[in-house]
């Protein structure tokens, strides 16, 4: 028997009345919190408070463990013992593994077993743990999608949308998973822009930990300068790169209480990645730079590049060593800066240059991979486009910062 349209709707109504039960909706406190954290008028101040809380927790946690425990362990016990018992003082092997025999702290020793271990375990590890703990809580509670909704309007000004906040926040932990997370963006243009901007302007958690240790009073200024560069460069890229920027479409889940088990499992997975991947790169970076110093390559490059480094960027030629190390680990490169004699403003400029400088080798490889998997005709073109943007921004924003110091009369 064939039913008319009206008869079909009548049948649907009868079935729905027999199978669906309607209850009264009760507006809970959790619903009210969900609403105020997504509306701009109330959500933006809350987001600022959350980010301030993150920064305060990050600095306090990392500083407590680094200064309160690891500095004392490494500088007062490990370094003196190693300098005393390791044979061959002044020789090649001693120089590579222990470093400067007269150093009184691990920052200045710069050996694989001194600076290498101290930077990786004593400085970077606490920073990584603090960052991922806060990030996991934001993920599991359901706040991160609401942050994406809030920032959508701002990011649309540079051709991205709110969901780009996910790779941005991930990049503050590590650039490698952040570049991978750009796959969630819809268009090739957005993926290219996001990967490029992350590699240039967003410091990873390891870098942040070192910045807090080296220039504790100026980290906020550096972050603000990098943030301005992020939006200025993004605005320019949006204008010159063809392609579309679609609207955001995402599900915003209800708030949930994070469980200790999930936090622990996620924390172990992410910290384990650091322990087995990042630490070997730190050690390799110390080895490479020490060998280049021993052979005189660093001094040779410093003499060649001195006109550019001194005249354009206003930093001493000795920053060549950290810039080379930055290709392996940027946190290691920032640690190296502490052993170079320079003014406070030269140190700030050097930190900015390392942040803007070529991404570490792991991020470098990931950008190349994402260019291939993202549907680009040629992955090298994707990478070369990122590198061209990087070179331009290094010279522009590095030189601009030097100009600012000159105008202020401190350079």
CA-CA distance, 80 to 97, in Å (whole number)? 14
Range of the domain at 318: 41-244+279-408
Q: Determine the Cα–Cα distance for residues 195 and 330; give it in Å rounded to an integer.
A: 17
Q: Within a 10 A sphere around the Cβ of 201, how many other Cβ atoms? A: 24
Question: Where do we find the tokens 């204008």?
Answer: 239
Residues 309, 320 contacting (CB under 8 angstroms): yes
Domain assignment present for residue 147? The answer is yes
Whether the CB-CB separation of 148 and 165 falls below 8 Å is answered with yes
Best CA proximity match to 381, nearest among 370, 393, 394:
370
pLDDT value, residue 315: 94
Q: Where are the beta strands (DSSP E) in 20-83?
A: none
**Model pTM?**
0.81
Query: How far is 74 from 211, CA to CA, in rounded Å?
Result: 19
Q: Which of 78, 80, 71 is closest to 104 using CA atoms?
A: 80
Long-range contacts of 103-108 (CB under 8 A, 24+ apart): 103/79, 104/75, 104/79, 105/71, 105/74, 105/75, 105/79, 106/74, 106/75, 106/78, 106/79, 107/335, 107/338, 107/339, 108/338, 108/339
Q: What is the pLDDT of residue 392?
A: 93
Which residues, 6+ apart, have CB-to-CB distance to 225 below 8 Å? 352, 397, 401
Strands, DSSP E only, in 224-282? none
Q: Is residue 273 part of a domain?
A: no
What pLDDT, on a 0 to 100 scale, did the predictor assign at position 295? 92
Cα–chain center distance at 121: 18
**pLDDT confidence of residue 375:** 52
Going by C-alpha positions, the residue among 354, 333, 122, 115 that lies closest to residue 226 is 354
Encode burial over 253-281: b for 16+ CB neighbours within 10 A, e otherwise: eeeeeeeeeebeebbeebeeebeeebbeb
Residue 196 lies in a domain: yes
> If you count them, how many residues does the chain have?
411
Residue 14 within any structural domain of the chain: no
Instruction: Give the residue among 129, 267, 121 at the shortest CA–CA distance from 205.
Output: 129
**Contact predicate 348/228, CB 8 Å:** no
End-to-end Cα distance, the chain = 90
Sequence-distant contacts of 365-372: CB under 8 A, at least 24 apart: 366/175, 366/176, 366/179, 366/180, 367/179, 367/195, 367/196, 367/199, 370/179, 370/180, 370/182, 370/183, 370/191, 370/195, 371/192
> Residue 186: CB partners within 8 Å, gap ≥ 6?
246
Q: Is residue 272 part of a domain?
A: no
The number of distinct structural domains making up the chain is 1
CB 202 within 8 Å of CB 230:
yes
Give the integer Cα–Cα distance in Å for 278 and 362.
9
Please give the DSSP secondary-structure letter assigned to residue 22: -
| CB 380 within 8 Å of CB 372 | no
Q: Is 305 domain-assigned?
A: yes
pLDDT value at residue 371: 66
Confirm whether 257 is domain-assigned.
Answer: no
Residue 62 token pair: 């990392």
Does the residue 7 lie in any domain?
Answer: no
Residue 58: per-residue pLDDT: 86
Per-residue pLDDT tens, the chain, 411 aa: give them: 677 777 788 888 888 878 877 767 677 777 788 889 888 889 989 998 998 898 889 888 988 998 889 999 999 999 999 999 999 888 999 999 999 898 888 878 889 999 889 988 988 888 889 888 998 999 899 898 888 888 888 888 898 888 888 888 888 888 878 887 887 787 888 888 998 999 899 998 888 888 988 998 899 999 999 999 999 999 999 998 887 777 666 677 888 899 999 999 999 988 887 777 777 878 888 888 889 889 989 889 999 999 999 999 999 999 998 888 887 778 888 888 888 889 999 999 999 999 998 777 777 777 777 666 655 555 667 777 888 898 899 999 999 999 999 999 886
Q: Which two tokens stand for residue 273?
A: 């990645």
């Amino acid at each position: 028997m064939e039913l008319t349209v009206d008869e079909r709707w009548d049948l649907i109504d009868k079935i729905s009345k027999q199978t669906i039960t309607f209850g009264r909706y009760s507006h809970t406190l959790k619903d009210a919190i969900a609403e105020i954290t997504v509306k701009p008028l109330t959500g933006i101040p809350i987001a600022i408070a959350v980010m301030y809380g993150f920064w305060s927790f990050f600095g306090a946690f990392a500083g407590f463990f680094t200064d309160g425990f690891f500095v004392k362990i490494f500088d007062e016990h490990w370094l003196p013992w190693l300098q005393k018992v390791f044979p061959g003082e002044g020789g090649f092997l001693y120089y590579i593994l222990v470093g400067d025999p007269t150093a009184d702290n691990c920052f200045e020793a710069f050996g694989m077993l001194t600076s290498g271990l101290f930077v990786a375990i004593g400085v970077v590890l606490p920073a990584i743990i603090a960052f991922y703990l806060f990030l996991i809580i934001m993920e599991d509670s359901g706040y991160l999608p609401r942050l994406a909704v809030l920032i959508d309007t701002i990011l649309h000004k540079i051709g991205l949308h709110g969901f780009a906040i996910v790779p941005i926040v991930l990049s503050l932990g590590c650039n490698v998973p952040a570049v991978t997370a750009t796959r969630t963006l819809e268009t090739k243009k957005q993926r290219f822009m996001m990967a490029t901007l992350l590699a240039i302007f967003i410091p990873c958690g390891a870098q942040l930990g070192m910045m807090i240790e080296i220039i504790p009073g100026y980290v906020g200024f550096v972050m603000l300068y990098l943030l301005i560069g992020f939006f200025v460069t993004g605005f320019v890229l949006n204008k010159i790169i063809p392609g579309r920027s679609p609207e955001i479409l995402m599900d915003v889940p209800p708030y949930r209480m994070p469980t200790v088990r999930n936090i622990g499992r996620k924390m172990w997975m992410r910290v384990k990645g650091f322990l087995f991947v990042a630490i070997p790169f730190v050690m390799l970076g110390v080895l490479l730079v020490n060998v280049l110093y021993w052979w005189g390559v660093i001094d040779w490059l410093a003499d060649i590049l001195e006109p550019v480094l001194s005249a354009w960027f206003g930093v001493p030629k000795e920053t060549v060593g950290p810039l080379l190390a930055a290709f392996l680990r940027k946190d290691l490169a920032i640690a190296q800066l502490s052993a170079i004699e320079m003014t406070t403003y030269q140190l700030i400029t050097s930190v900015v240059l390392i942040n803007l400088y070529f991404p570490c080798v792991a991020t470098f490889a990931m950008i190349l991979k994402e260019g291939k998997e993202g549907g680009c005709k040629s992955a090298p073109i994707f990478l070369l486009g990122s590198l061209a943007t990087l070179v331009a921004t290094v010279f522009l924003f590095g030189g601009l910062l030097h100009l600012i110091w000159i105008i202020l009369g401190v350079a």
